[in-house]
């Protein structure tokens, strides 16, 4: 029986959750009798799910990084103290379970979204390197599933030594799937020959589970859906950090007013708790607050895909909300700022509807809203045609790499 570990994931970020689910169910389809465990950073309770999760977080990472699990009798004492400090029993017995999983695993698959690049600190990138080094220590092959990489130009003390460590650790990986051309170029510029280019995991894999598949019995919840023919409006709090906050606020409000004034039914969907306050700020700014529907709630990624599939198109800036839309043939007007947005839009011939939030051009966006309202059916067909060409079992590619 095959045994696998999936790292680089969390359940509260729905994009990360979706990547885990795509990978988990693909592995189970290839090896029906396999055991697949998720080493997850953030989740509420593992009992709510139909799969096994173990806590790969600040505490357990330190235990394995400094090999404290190898010191007799130390781990139970440390775990007890950590539990008392955090008023949580989530680590009780978990280090031993993680140790057993690492010893018995046939391979490790990492499904991080983006940690290794100077868009984050070296400490942030070090989390991925730590996972690779853990695989090395236990003699396990590791595959980095489609994710973003680079650029590698950290402006921090010790950056040259860190880049050498990046090269060394990445060369250990059986295969690295870069999600964007920019990341592929950054990796191959290091002299790596184990790199392939692949679109997002959630797009590549044809199957995606329903909410009833992922929850334990009795954990299913009610889902609110938009009115038929609605335009979805998905705000991302990160846009206020990347762009000029007041300009972003004005832009969102103008787009909402434009849609409502044009007779569209508009529904704001919050896909993250971090977006709740920005949504309220935008709604206070709009002239049409009473004519905008809102769907709030802590929904799973399968539930969000089901909700988004009911929109005729969306205005969105969370990367995986656009991925969820494209999976269902739903067009999107995208407010982005990184190469992952431009590569994603290009895969579906949607570059005309992509805008850099740092230089958005309000007039052009409002014009594109009119264009999308008129052409959304044609754009939907174009997206579905592209999707059919793109999908192709990247997990099977990863498994074949492990077998050669």
Chosen domain end from 179, 195, 219 = 219
| Cα–Cα distance, 21 to 377 (Å, whole number) | 29
What pLDDT is attached to residue 301? Answer: 97
Query: What SS3 state is found at 106?
Result: coil
Mean pLDDT, the chain, whole residue set? 95
Chosen domain end from 185, 219, 253 = 219
Helix (H) or strand (E) holding 389: helix 362-390
In eight-state DSSP terms, residue 358 is: T
Q: Is 150 left (phi over 0), alpha (psi -120 to 50) or beta?
A: left
- Mean pLDDT of successive 10-residue segments in the chain (404 residues)? 97 95 98 97 84 96 95 91 89 95 98 93 96 98 97 95 97 98 97 97 96 85 93 94 92 96 96 89 93 93 98 96 98 95 97 92 91 97 98 95 93
| Cα–Cα distance, 178 to 121 (Å, whole number) | 19
User: Domain with 267 in it: what CATH number?
Assistant: 3.40.50.2000
Question: Is residue 148 within 8 Å of residue 117, measured between CB atoms?
Answer: yes
Question: Nearest-5° angle of CA 260, CA 263, CA 264?
Answer: 70
pLDDT tens for 56-112 read 999 999 999 999 999 988 999 999 998 899 888 889 999 999 999 999 999 999 999
The domain in which residue 40 lies consists of 3-219
Chosen domain end from 157, 185, 219 = 219
103 and 235 housed in the same domain: no
277 and 166 housed in the same domain: no
Partner residues linked to 114 by β-bridges: 148
Which ranges of 69-121 would DSSP assign to H, the alpha helix? 74-86, 94-104
């Amino acid at each position: 029986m095959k045994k696998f570990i999936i790292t680089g994931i969390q359940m509260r970020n729905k994009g990360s959750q979706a990547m885990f689910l795509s990978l988990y169910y693909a592995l189970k389809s290839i090896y029906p009798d396999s055991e697949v465990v998720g080493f997850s950073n953030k989740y509420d309770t593992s009992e709510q799910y139909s799969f096994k999760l173990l806590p790969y977080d600040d505490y357990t990472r330190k235990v394995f990084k400094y090999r404290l699990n190898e010191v007799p009798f130390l781990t139970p004492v440390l775990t007890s103290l950590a539990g008392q400090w955090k008023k949580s029993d989530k680590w009780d017995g978990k280090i031993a379970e993680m140790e057993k999983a690492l010893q018995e695993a046939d391979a490790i698959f990492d499904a991080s979204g983006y940690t290794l690049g100077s868009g984050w600190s070296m400490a942030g990138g070090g989390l991925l390197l730590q996972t690779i080094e853990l695989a090395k220590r236990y003699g396990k092959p590791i595959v980095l599933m489609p994710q973003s990489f680079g650029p590698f130009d950290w402006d921090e003390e010790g950056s040259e030594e860190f880049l050498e460590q990046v090269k060394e650790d990445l060369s250990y990986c059986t295969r690295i799937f870069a999600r964007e051309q920019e990341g592929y170029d950054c990796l191959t510029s290091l002299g790596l020959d184990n790199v392939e280019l692949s679109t997002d995991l959630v797009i590549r894999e044809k199957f995606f589970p329903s909410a009833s598949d992922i929850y334990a019995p009795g954990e299913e919840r009610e889902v609110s859906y938009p009115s038929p023919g609605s335009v979805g409006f998905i705000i991302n709090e990160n846009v206020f950090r990347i762009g000029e906050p007041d300009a972003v606020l004005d832009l969102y409000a103008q787009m909402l007013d434009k849609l409502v004034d044009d007779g569209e039914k508009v529904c704001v969907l919050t896909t993250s708790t971090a977006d709740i306050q920005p949504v309220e700020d935008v709604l206070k700014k709009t002239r049409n607050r009473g004519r905008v529907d809102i769907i709030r709630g802590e929904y799973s990624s399968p539930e969000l895909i089901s909700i988004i599939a009911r929109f005729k198109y969306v205005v969105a800036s969370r990367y995986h909300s656009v991925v969820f839309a494209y999976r269902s043939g739903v067009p999107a007007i995208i407010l982005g700022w990184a190469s992952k947005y431009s590569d994603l839009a290009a895969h579906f011939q949607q570059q005309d509807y992509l805008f850099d939030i740092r230089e958005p051009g309000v007039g052009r966006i409002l014009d594109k809203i009119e264009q999308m309202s008129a052409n959304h059916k044609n754009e939907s067909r174009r997206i579905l045609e592209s999707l059919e060409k793109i999908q192709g079992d990247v997990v099977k590619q990863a498994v074949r790499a492990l077998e050669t």
